Amino acid sequence: MSQFQSIDNAEKEFQQALDHMKNEFSRLQVGRASSVLVENIPVDVYGGSQNVRAVASISIPDPRTIQIQPWDKALLTVIEKAIIGIGTGLNPQNDGNVIRINIPHLTEERRTDLKKHVGKLAEDAKISMRNSRHDVVKKFKVMKDEGEMTEDDVVLAEKKLQELVDKYNKFVDEMSRAKELDIMTV
């Protein structure tokens, strides 16, 4: 594998870390209704496990309400139990036709906890990128020892790799600041 392929692979891993962080951010309950909060909750139906989105339609009738309408009304209680059992703190209300979930306003304490969690997710993404960078630098050293790269090639490749790390760290910082601002906005 050439140094350029190693750098490209590292960039793919950086992007995966960034995408994972974005996905985790989207799942945070920030006081507004979002289908992401419930769509991936597993429900035991028909002898197997399905996500809520596979057995029901999910809508957001207003900014603080999630509405789940199963295609089979017999699944109402199963979906309700799954939402309660997942431990999200959401309180589903079953009216016999649909399940409604009212999203409560966030307390200042909960906002602070979420902000800390956002910081942890951002740091986890940076750690993942550092580990990827470290692995690639090891590959460069092995390639140098085997005569596939010169010392100058290693220095240039490490510099290019560090530029990528800095670029993705900047993305992580910007995204986490934006999410923290979103959380702390009342």
Q: What's the CATH code of the domain at 45? A: 3.30.1360.40
Domain at 124, CATH number: 1.10.132.20
Give yes or no: residues 150 and 168 share one domain. Answer: yes
In Å, how far are 7, 80, 162 from 91, measured between CA atoms? 47, 9, 46
Give yes or no: residues 88 and 152 share one domain. Answer: no
Give yes or no: residues 62 and 116 share one domain. Answer: no
Give yes or no: residues 77 and 116 share one domain. Answer: no
Distance of CA 63 to the CA centre of its chain: 22
Residue ranges with strand state E in 52-167: 56-62, 65-70, 92-94, 99-102
Structure tokens at 23: 């996905």
Give yes or no: residues 57 and 146 share one domain. Answer: no
Q: Is 103 exposed, middle or buried (0-12, 13-18, 19+ CB in 10 A)?
A: buried
> Domain limits at 76?
35-102
Per-residue pLDDT of the chain (186 residues; tens, 9 = 90+): 688 888 899 999 999 999 999 888 877 767 777 788 888 889 988 888 888 888 999 999 988 889 999 998 888 889 988 888 876 677 888 888 899 998 888 788 888 888 899 999 999 999 999 999 999 999 999 998 998 888 888 899 999 999 999 999 999 999 999 988 888 876
pTM score, whole prediction: 0.73
Question: What is the number of structural domains in the chain?
Answer: 2
